Amino acid sequence: MADAMSRRNFVRLGGVAAAGMGAVSLLAGCGNSPNAGSTTIKLGMLGPFTGDVAQYGTACRNGVELYFEQNPKIGDYTVDLDEQDEKGDATEAVNVYNKMAEDGVAGIIGDVTSTPTIAVAQASANDNLPCVTPSATAADVIAYGSNTFRACVTDPFQGKVMADFASQQGWGTVGTIFNSGDDYSTGVNQAFCDEASARGITVATQQGYSAGDVDFNGQLTTIISAKVDAIFCPNYYSDDGKIITQARQQGYAGPIFGVDGWDGIASGNYASADDLQGCYYCCSFVATNSDAKVQQFVSDYKAKFGDGPTNFCALGYDAAMVLACGIASALDAGAKPSDKDFPDKVVSTIASNEVEGVTGTISYKGTGDPDKSTLIVSFATDGSTNVYSTISAD
């Protein structure tokens, strides 16, 4: 991107909505249709588009852009999407939020990672400005006000899901390896261990490592020597790919499993297809899911960007849908963006809506956490992903 702080306007003519699955989701799912004589509604999208975690921000941004390309209007209003780069920094994220609020955005998609999102949630609570994060999984994200929602499942939910999965698989003894300096990894690891204990699973050892480490052989030797049935790795794919490879090199042939940070592990040089056999992770979205809605999204995404979408792309798309449908419902009820209480009405309609996203059906039952299912993902012999099973929200 030539200008990291650029603003992109998605302006379309008349009442024309782009063809594709996204347009159907908004117009049919929200009960709203574009009309002539529209004005503009400004929305914000903030995330890390440069810096160490830019790959997650740009993926979410791509999903958001696709959604509003397919759905350029909400009711009579043409969407003016203001995209701002917070560079992965919480202070910068608050600065961006304050600028967007001053500019009069009707709602914000973002932030993307947990620490900046928590900062934005704290800053936005008094304004009650609706914010929908695609992908911030830390439990505290929604703790500061009813205006913050997420499209993704939480760290505690993922830890619990994978402990339940381990129990179902009959893995009685497990070792874990996690980034001890990362909130995401430590949070999921703790949730997993708590649920594993409740399920009667023995966590033989918990091995931490530091950010930037590339040699995990010491931790793996300890875990493997404990004669575990499986190894839990709740980290990001760049680390877990190395962990899987080194575990196989040590002769460990048993199951290795993780959470949504694994998305993308089969691409590039993170882990070979052979080494990924017997591995599993939970995630809301995989591009190989045969669901017709998912395959339409994959086709639309490839047509626009050239490459296939990741989980973060799909979550960006769904976060945009959640916000747009909330605004559409408020407009349908007679609210106007110029109304002083318009943000309050959008927050209320998001909380009561249900949308059919590409990552599943999303609704909110009294909190900003979505009530939605997730997938257990396995790997085919060529390294491609398969949907192993679907886990309901209950």
- Tell me the per-residue pLDDT of 253-288, one tens digit each, with 9 for 90 and over: 999 999 999 988 988 679 999 999 999 999 999 999
3-state SS, the chain, equals CCCCCCCCCCCCCCCCCCCCHHHHHHHHHCCCCCCCCCEEEEEEEEECCCCCCHHHHHHHHHHHHHHHHHCCEECCEEEEEEEEECCCCHHHHHHHHHHHHHCCCCCEECCCCHHHHHHHHHHHCCCCCCEEECCCCCHHHHCCCCCEEECCCCHHHHHHHHHHHHHHHCCCEEEEEEECCCHHHHHHHHHHHHHHHHCCCEEEEEEEECCCCCCCHHHHHHHHHCCCCEEECCCCHHHHHHHHHHHHHCCCCCCEEECHHHCCCCCCCCCCCCCCCCEEEEECCCCCCCCHHHHHHHHHHHHHHCCCCCHHHHHHHHHHHHHHHHHHHHHHCCCCCCCCCHHHHHHHHHHHCEEEECCEEEEECCCCCEECCEEEEEECCCCCEEEEEEECCC
Query: 150 — phi, psi (to 5°)?
Result: -135, 150
The model's confidence at residue 1, banded by pLDDT at 50, 70 and 90, is: very low
Q: Looking at the predicted structure, is the pLDDT value of residue 3 above 90?
A: no
370 pLDDT more than 60: yes
pLDDT band of residue 394 (cuts 50, 70, 90) is: low
Q: Which residues pair with 351 in a beta bridge?
A: none
pLDDT exceeds cutoff 80 at 8: no
Give the pLDDT confidence of 95-128 residue by residue, as tens digits.
Answer: 999 999 999 999 999 999 999 999 999 999 999 9
Q: What percent of the chain stands above pLDDT 90?
A: 86
- Between residues 53 and 38, the one the model is more confident about: 53
The pTM assigned to this predicted structure is: 0.86
Going from the C-alpha of 256 to that of each of 42, 177, 229, 266, the distances in angstroms are 45, 10, 9, 14
Q: Please give the Cα distance from 250 to 105 (Å, whole number).
A: 54
Among 153, 134, 137, residue whose Cα is nearest residue 390: 153
Q: What percent of the chain has pLDDT over 70?
A: 90
Q: Which domains does the chain have, with CATH numbers?
A: 40-153+292-363 (3.40.50.2300), 155-283+376-391 (3.40.50.2300)
CB-based contact 49:43 (threshold 8 Å): no
Q: Is the peptide bond before 111 cis (omega within 30 degrees of 0)?
A: yes
**How far, rounded to the nearest angstrom, does the alpha carbon of residue 390 sit from its chain's CA centroid?**
17
Pairing of strands 279-283, 374-379: antiparallel
**Other Cβ atoms within 10 Å of 363 Cβ, number:** 15
pLDDT digits (tens, 9 = 90+) for 55-91: 999 999 999 999 999 999 999 999 999 999 999 999 9
Of 276, 318, 273, 324, the C-alpha closest to 293 is 318
Q: Is residue 27 pLDDT above 50, yes or no?
A: no
Interacting residues of 13 by C-beta distance below 8 A, sequence separation 6+: none
Per the prediction, the chain carries an average pLDDT of 90
Cβ(7)–Cβ(45) under 8 Å? no
Asked whether the beta carbons of 120 and 46 are under 8 A apart, the reply is yes
Count of other CB atoms within 10 angstroms of residue 227: 10
Each residue's pLDDT tens digit, 308-317? 999 999 999 9
* Residue 376 CA neighbour count, 13 Å, CB half: 21
